[in-house]
Structure formats: C-alpha cells, structure tokens
Structure 1
Amino acid sequence: MGLLTIGTFAKASRLSPKALRLYDELGLLTPACVDPVTGYRLYAPEQLDQARLVAWLRRLGMPLVRIRHVCTLEAGPAAQEIRAFWAQVEADTAARRDLATFLIDRLSGKEPAMSATAKPLGIRYAALSDTGLVRASNQDIAYAGSGRCWYGPGPRSRCHP
C-alpha cells in the first residue's frame, strides 16, 4: 500500500483534515512527505496507529501538549501517563460534582447536609502574633479549646465557659 492522501488518512484515522494540519504544525503527527509543488500532505499507512492514539487521547480530553509527551514514551510509561491523567480528571470531576451539589442545595434553600457520623470541627491549636511596630497591643490572638475560647486585643479578653 502506498502513501495516503490527507482525506483518505483522515477517514482511516477518524481525524479531520483540519486536525491533521494542526497536528503537523505542532509536530505531533507529521506527514510522511509533502508534495513540494502542490503542498499536499501524504501519510504512510504505518502512521495510522499513532494517529488513532492521538484521536483516542483527544476524546479523553487530554491536552495536545500532554499527548505529544505521551507519544514520545514507550508503551509502559505511556500507560502510566494516561493513568495519571485520568486520575486527575476523576479528581477534578469529583470536586466539580461536590461544588455543583453545594450550589444546587444553596440555591434551593436547603441547608448543607452533615452526615450522622461526622463530628463538628474544632480548633486544636492557637496562634499568637507579635504586637509589631505599629500597634500598642496584640489584636490578632485567638484560642479555642474544650469549653474555652478567647480572642481580640490582648490575651483572654473574652472568655466563654
């Protein structure tokens, strides 16, 4: 089988000619040869595997820069890179799902749900800041512990049993 025109190669790889031109410009999928007179791009049948890999990775939503990196790797490291990419996609999707749920509940007038097993948050540590060069007293102190908390200018300005 000889060289394939960009149209034939596009159909076989399920990439558009426009995408193939872009991938050529980016050095991601360079044609086997370009006719010097017409500028037509011709692809070798052996390039179909890489073209299909690029198409699949684009369908996953992988950015072109990362696809270029994956295409330079051997099979094992390439699989690891795809696995790492997909783990990040799943983490991002979970975070967006949680945000969407929060927004839906908030806009619906629902209170955020707290599971029966979750404990309320508590402060475990306190911080004390210097008075600095401008203030006469420290106004940035805060502490909370079991049954006590104080905050405001100076230590223990307000106590709660």
Structure 2
Amino acid sequence: MPIGVFAQRSGLTSSALRFYADSGLLPPAEVDPVSGYRYYDADQVARATALRQLREIAMPLAGVEAVLDAGAEEAARLLDEHVAKIVEDAAAARQKAAVIKSVLGGGVPGLLIATLKGPVLAEAVEQVLTATAHERGMAVLAGLHIEASHEAIALTATDRYRLSTRTLVPARPAEQTWAGTVDGDDLRAAVAEVRRSALVRIETVPHGIWLRMPEREDRHCRLLPEDFPDHRLMLASLGEATTRATVPKDLLLRALEEYPDERVTLCISPHGVDVRPPNDEHPRVRLPATVTGGDLRIRFETTTLYPAVSTAIGPEVMLDLRGHDGPVTIRSADRGDLTTLAMPVKSDHSA
C-alpha cells in the first residue's frame, strides 16, 4: 500500500513514516527505483501501531527499537522500567517545582502543625493509607485527612467500605490547630525518607504541607481541594456493639488467605469464630476466640476485611460487631490506637 494509505492505517503521519524509515525502525517493504515512492505491507501495520504507541508514552528511539525487537517478557520489563522512570522524574519535578514556588513566594516558612518521630509517622501513614482508593471523580478518597491540635494529630482515610484512623501524640506542641486532606500518593513517595528521620516537622503552606527532615531532603505533599467525608459524625452515630470477639490476628489472616473466594463469612458464637466461604464448598476454619454477646453470622468482601485486620497492632484483634449489616470496629485488643471500621456485605441468611 502507498505511504498515504499506510499512514491512515497506522495512525502515523507520512513525514513520521519517512523519519522512522530513515532511522531504520520501520523501513518500507518496497521503494520504487524510478519515482522513489514508498510502499508498505499489511503485516507492517502492527509494528507501526506499536511504534506510535511507544512514542506516545515518550519512549526514546533506542528504547522503542529494543521493545519492538524483544520477546514478550523482555518487552514488558523494558516498558515497566520506562514507566517507572517517568513516574520518578515526575515526582522529582513536582518536588523541585514546590521549592521554586516557595522561593518565588518569598520563602515564607510554613506554619508548624506537628513534630513527630519519623518512624512512628511513617508506620501510621502506611497503616491508614490502606483504606484509600482511586476512584474517578472522587479524588478525596485517595487522600489522608490530617487533623492537628495542640495535644494530638489524627490521621484518617476512607474508601467508603473501610475507614482507618490513628491518633499520634506529637513530640512537640503544635503552634495552632489545622485540618486538611493530603494527597496519598505524595505521602507514599515520602514514607521511606520519613522513616529514616529521627524527627519530622509538618508545616502547612498554601496548597500543601512540607515534611521538614533534618539532614534529609524536605518533601512537599499536595493538598486535595475536595471536602473530606464527615467521618466524625459517622463515628459518633455508631451504636453500641452487640457482639465482641477477640481473635489471634495471625490465625485470622491465615484463614482469610486460604480461601480463593471474593467473600468470606464469619460465624461468631461462644465456641469461637468460624471462617467460612459463602458457598460452603470449602471446610470451615474454627479460630479460638473470646466472645461476649449474641451469636452472629456476618459476611465481608475479602479485600475489605483482610487489610483491616492486617494493619491492626498487636497479636490479637478485637472485633466490635453491630449486627449482620452494621460497621465492624477492628482494633488491637491490648495496645495501639489504630482503629478501622469495615462495612459488611448483605448476608444470605438462607445459606
């Protein structure tokens, strides 16, 4: 087919095709020796399309050639490396831009809202961020809400099916109270540096916060403009637990890992906690537990329950349950201040 038709089929312009032919990436199948017209075969369309797509993600020519000539596994590895570099470069550019904006703004220091031990802050951020989610049109669900007072700083996140919150006592009192929702991805990128810093000063500036770390590069995290859900109203409206079960954390996690089902049922009685798949095709697993209150059968999405249990602090987790359709409070049985709420799914009582 002539170059114009091939250009339409591949999505590349004729000038781009000439460039890629001259560079050796996509030579034409035939060149008319008299007219110099270039012709392409139909089986070259796939390579041309892949070439265009690789250039659309800003892959350099050398990388494009390596991907096109590699096998499937090697091509996937090269693509992953390229995307990782783009993400790393974007994060570095964002941090440099934040520094430039600070300088352009006169270098006015931020308002101190907390000073925390780095390892403690890093652990808390990682725990609470498990309750975030990326959903189109709801950017706030991917953020971590920070509430700072003179006495404490609370970190909260929710994906609508889980809500995790942890309260930390600052090493030094804050200058004033403050609340805002910080981009969760920015915090994740900063966690490694935060963990290696003895103390971290959290300062608020317009449109973001700075994590100030002595002897390490300061990190800037963006604020999300959307309002965070009114989690305090929801927590205040929770009814009293009707059943409480204290279960070994490792045994419960192991039981959840054994079933491939997307949902799992907990049957709670004075004899313990039975973990069952919804369809009862697999044998139940009975866990030792200390139970008070009435018997209960409650069902969860595994992707909701597992991370809520896995981030709990200590060897045992306490489940405060409010019926088969009420939110369950999950926290350490003896220590720690991380609290997670997990929503069950509709139970099939005929099962």
Per the TM superposition, whether the score is higher than 0.5 is: yes
Cα distance change of structure 1 residues 54 and 75 upon mapping to structure 2, 3 Å threshold: same
Which of these residues, 208, 214, 217, is aligned with residue 121 of structure 1?
A: 214
Letter paired with 1:68: E
Does structure 2 conserve the Cα–Cα contact (< 8 Å) formed by 1:102 and 1:112? no
Q: Which residue of 1 aligns with 2:109?
A: 111
Identity %: 35
Gaps of 5+ in 2: 119-198, 200-212, 216-351
The two structures, once aligned, show a CA RMSD in angstroms of: 1.8
Indicate whether 1:76 and 2:77 are aligned: no
Letter paired with 1:116: T
C-alpha displacement at 1:34, in angstroms?
0.7
Cα distance change of structure 1 residues 121 and 73 upon mapping to structure 2, 3 Å threshold: same
* Structure index of larger Rg: 1
Does structure 2 conserve the Cα–Cα contact (< 8 Å) formed by 1:31 and 1:41? yes
C-alpha displacement at 1:111, in angstroms?
2.2
C-alpha displacement at 1:103, in angstroms?
0.8
Q: Which residue of 1 aligns with 2:5?
A: 8
Q: Which residue of 1 aligns with 2:61?
A: 64
Cα distance change of structure 1 residues 73 and 36 upon mapping to structure 2, 3 Å threshold: same
For the residues of structure 1 that align with 2:49 and 2:77, how far apart are their CA atoms? 18
Q: Which residue of 2 aligns with 1:134?
A: none
Corresponding residue SS for 1:116: strand
Cα distance change of structure 1 residues 100 and 32 upon mapping to structure 2, 3 Å threshold: same
Letter paired with 1:106: V
Written as runs of structure 1 = structure 2, the 5 A alignment for 1:120-159 is 120-121=213-214
C-alpha displacement at 1:51, in angstroms?
0.3
Corresponding residue SS for 1:94: helix
Structure with the higher helix share, 1 or 2: 1
Gaps of 5+ in 1: 123-161
Q: TM-score, normalised by structure 1?
A: 0.69
Corresponding residue SS for 1:69: helix
C-alpha displacement at 1:112, in angstroms?
6.0
For the residues of structure 2 that align with 1:75 and 1:112, how far apart are their CA atoms? 49
Q: Which stretch of the first structure deviates more once superposed, 82-91 or 64-73?
A: 64-73
For the residues of structure 2 that align with 1:103 and 1:79, how far apart are their CA atoms? 36
For the residues of structure 2 that align with 1:116 and 1:24, how far apart are their CA atoms? 59
Letter paired with 1:121: P
Cα distance change of structure 1 residues 89 and 113 upon mapping to structure 2, 3 Å threshold: farther
Cα distance change of structure 1 residues 52 and 112 upon mapping to structure 2, 3 Å threshold: farther
Structure with the higher strand share, 1 or 2: 2
Cα distance change of structure 1 residues 103 and 9 upon mapping to structure 2, 3 Å threshold: same
Corresponding residue SS for 2:39: strand
Cα distance change of structure 1 residues 39 and 112 upon mapping to structure 2, 3 Å threshold: farther
For the residues of structure 2 that align with 1:113 and 1:63, how far apart are their CA atoms? 43
Which of these residues, 28, 31, 51, is aligned with residue 31 of structure 1?
A: 28
Indicate whether 1:98 and 2:95 are aligned: yes
